[in-house]
Chains A and B, each alone.
Chain A
Amino acid sequence: MILTILHTALHVVVALALPPLLLGVIAKTKALFAGRVGPPVLQPYYDLWKLAQKGSVFSTTTTWVFCAGPVVGLVTAVLAVLLIPLAGSDAPLSFPGDVILLAYLLGLSRFFTAASALDTGSSFEGMGAAREVTFACLAEPAIFLGLLVLAKLSGSLQLEKMLGGSLAAQWSAAGAPLVLVILSWFVVLLAENSRIPFDDPGTHLELTMVHEVMVLDHSGPAFGMVLYGASLKLFLFAALVVRLALPQSAGFAWLDWPVFIAGMLGVAVAVGVVESTMARLRLTQVPVLLVAACLLSAFGVVLLLR
């Protein structure tokens, strides 16, 4: 009993405290590639703290929908990371069919982010919302097809079983589909978290942004929520990839958790390397890459059903 509580506490602490560090590691990796020292890896935490201290400015043309965007985005992201069995341990929230909840949480978050962007009436934000939902139409099938592979392998619709310790045993039997899903999900990770080659988190050019442009009007603590929610989302997708790639469990928390965290930092470095070595895609080419990600997952399904 005490052990379960400790596990749960550890899960919550890691899931809530680690995400900004991933952003810091990405920034540091990029800085090293650019030959700069770069901001400290803890900079995202300082930024969140700074934003929390600030006041917010709300445009008079906006309604409650505008404020709901960051709040819903944060709450859904927190709930979502609690559904994932992080280091092979039990997830704090788990029930049969929770994978469907995960899908809807992601959908709800996107809906409110887009709605709050449209609520401002700004032509930039409308443009960003249009781009976001267009690309989401193509990114979501890639996630679902990957989940289908896992559901088929585990015979369950419960994330704890799909991504739990039993996944390790499946690698010998279904290695190829799992590799395809990992690749597909890594692409989706880049797309969903507005990283290069899909979006440039470092740009100031509103006309080229996808995700960033939707949150231009948010300020202060609300913007802090947006940033923190975004880091949780990055954490969520990275955790999915790490669980697939490193499903082995030693059975000891003192070993499993460090391996998991190292895996997460590894994903962050990989994102940093991708961002440092390639340019953004032309916006019209983004769907092509997302369709490729869908196809990877789809081939995983095909291989499994063969």
Chain B
Amino acid sequence: MNGHSLVVLRSGQAMPRARIPQLPLPDFQRAITAGVAAGQRVAALFADAPAADGNVELYAVLADSARARLRVGRTTLDSDHFPSLTPQCPQVHLFEREIAEQYGVRPEGHPWLKPVRFHASYRPGHDAWGRSSGETPLIGATDYYRVEGDEIHEVAVGPVHAGVIEPGHFRFQCHGEHVFHLEISLGYQHRGAERTLAGGPNKRTIHTLETVAGDTSIGHATAYCQALEALAGCQVPIRAEVLRAVALELERLANHTGDLGALAGDVGFLPTAAFCGRLRGDFLNLTALLCGSRFGRGMVRPGGAMFDLDDARREQFLKCLQSAFRDVENAADLLWNSASVQARFEGTGAVSLETCLELGLVGPAARACGLECDVRQDFPWGIYRFAQVPVSTWSTGDVFARAYVRWMEIQRSVAFIREQLQGLPDGPVRADAGVPKPDHLVAVLVEGWRGEICHVALTDAAGKFARYKIVDPSFHNWTGLAIALRDQQISDFPLCNKSFNLSYCGHDL
């Protein structure tokens, strides 16, 4: 193996840590920039400190969707600073800020080096901003980008909002109604999920993962279970793979339907808002029919699925799915056929394909820019290896595109579920998960309803998690929202925000 390049592995393939190439820092960074220049995307870039007072290691996971391969490498930092990659490769900007905050190593030359989640450094005594180790940073207390001028005004929204939503702080630099710049500052939901996971797997691990982002319980649980199964070498029964995929698609259906309704609500279009609010509940109830929990808690477990679907319930399931889909179809048709709605959606919050690639956006937000990326197609896992879901894209990158991509995905998910359940294979739904192999690394990509979920697990000599890295799709996409708002009307912010519908706690972990 060539010692100066990244190692190639599949999503969900475990590899001994010793085989992960240890590159000198310049080679490591060159490998990342070269990979990104060749069309790969940074799925994860994170740090680990094997020993409390030892050096910091950086790991990079690049997603090469053209070849369905991941490229992984690592480097060891010999000091508390390293040259920042962000100026050459903007999509790593938040990863570098995260690394700086977590491990107290400073990316020199980072154009906007600020805390991400406002917690103390994981390595006492090492802080990227030189704060003393006893200090607990106040969330949101930092400098913000400012536009100066007599007629410029600043609008600060949150962290407490008028609606029942998660906390986040938004700073707009405006000239009248016109937005020059939006800066988003999060961290209010930081619970320390990654740190809790270290030392696992244990009884609490799966529950932590299911609540990393409450609306993506199945997505994160699926990624975790794949990682664990890969580390333990466990073969999941095919019936379980189908049921897991059905659960994942149901999560997508419920959230996409809710989003269409919320988008209609934001422009004050009553019929679709009212119907979709109820229909989201119908899909959640279908999830409950599958596993007893409306949010799919307890459905996906290492080794398979916790619940089976018997024939009687399957018939009921398909019938309910059919009627819910018919209603969503009507509600969506109303949306697309209302000129007043389309006038609001079209041209609002447009993101260009170029910006999308540069920022490394994922999920429906990226597909709405015309980027054909979908983990279900690019890195198929489980039943998706045999049953493809067509990728839904649109080219305009605006609110309409993000809404319409959701509608296309709803139709394709329903077709997928129907097809899978009609030919549900026989067999058990759960195998023995086994125990993770020691000193291994596994990186897993899963297409959650918001986009690519990336989990990277490193095990120690005892087979416990030395480091568990979670990258929620929101982590990639929040910057996309900030950019989408440039040169827009401030009154269109809620609409743009809803069209991305990102997770605060998925970002804050």
Contacts and interface: CB of A to CB of B under 8 A. Distances in A.
A284 interface: yes
A229 interface: no
B270 A207 contact: no
Interface in B459-509: 489-495
A284 B348 CA distance: 12
Contact of B153 (A123, A203, A280): A123
Interface stretch (B102-110, B155-163, B308-316, B384-392): B155-163
Looking at chain B's contact residues, the main secondary structure is helix
A206 B176 CA distance: 15
A34 interface: yes
A306 interface: no
B147 interface: no
Given A34-B270, A276-B271, A282 B489 contact: yes
B163 A33 contact: no
Interface residues of B, number: 33
Contacts of B419: none
B269 interface: yes
Contact of A34 (B163, B271, B494, B495): B271
B490 A207 contact: yes
A113 B181 CA distance: 30
A33 B268 contact: no
Interface in B307-346: 338, 340-341, 343-344
A130 B491 CA distance: 13
A126 B154 CA distance: 11
B340 A275 contact: no
B484 to A, nearest CB: 15
A278 B162 CA distance: 24
A279 B269 contact: yes
Contact of B267 (A34, A207, A279): A279
Interface string A258-282: 0000000000000000011111111
B274 interface: yes
Contact of B491 (A36, A197, A208): A208
B166 interface: no
A279 B268 CA distance: 5
Contacts of A127: 155, 177, 490
A276 B270 contact: yes
Interface residues of A, number: 32
Contacts of A278: 269, 338, 340
Interface string A122-166: 011011001100000000000000000000000000000000000
Contacts of B341: 279
A35 interface: yes
A284 B264 CA distance: 19
A276 B155 CA distance: 31
B154 A123 contact: yes
Contacts of A279: 264, 267-269, 338, 340-341, 343-344
A281 B266 contact: no
Interface string B130-169: 0000000000000000000000011111000011000000
A157 B338 CA distance: 43
B489 A197 contact: no
A202 interface: yes
A127 B343 CA distance: 23
A282 to B, nearest CB: 6
B122 interface: no
A205 B153 contact: no
Nearest to B177: A283
Contacts of B176: 130
A256 interface: no
A204 B340 contact: no
B275 interface: yes
Task: Name the residue in B176, B267, B338 with the highest tally of chain A Cβ atoms < 10 Å from its Cβ.
Answer: B267
A33 B491 CA distance: 26
B493 A207 contact: yes
A172 B287 CA distance: 65
A35 B155 CA distance: 37
Nearest to B273: A34
A285 interface: yes
Given A202-B268, A276-B271, A282 B343 contact: yes
A196 interface: yes
A11 interface: no
B343 A285 contact: yes
A110 interface: no
B489 A206 contact: no
Contacts of B494: 205, 207-208
Interface in A24-50: 30, 33-36
B492 A282 contact: yes
A90 interface: no
Given A283-B491, A284-B177, A205 B275 contact: no
Interface in A159-193: none
A140 B348 CA distance: 30
Contacts of A276: 270-271
A284 B489 contact: yes
Interface of A: 30, 33-36, 123-124, 126-127, 130-131, 196-197, 200, 202-208, 275-285
Interface of B: 153-157, 162-163, 176-177, 264, 266-271, 273-275, 278, 338, 340-341, 343-344, 348, 489-495
Given A35-B275, A207-B494, A279-B269, 10 more contacts: A33-B270, A127-B490, A131-B177, A204-B162, A205-B494, A207-B157, A207-B493, A208-B266, A279-B343, A281-B340
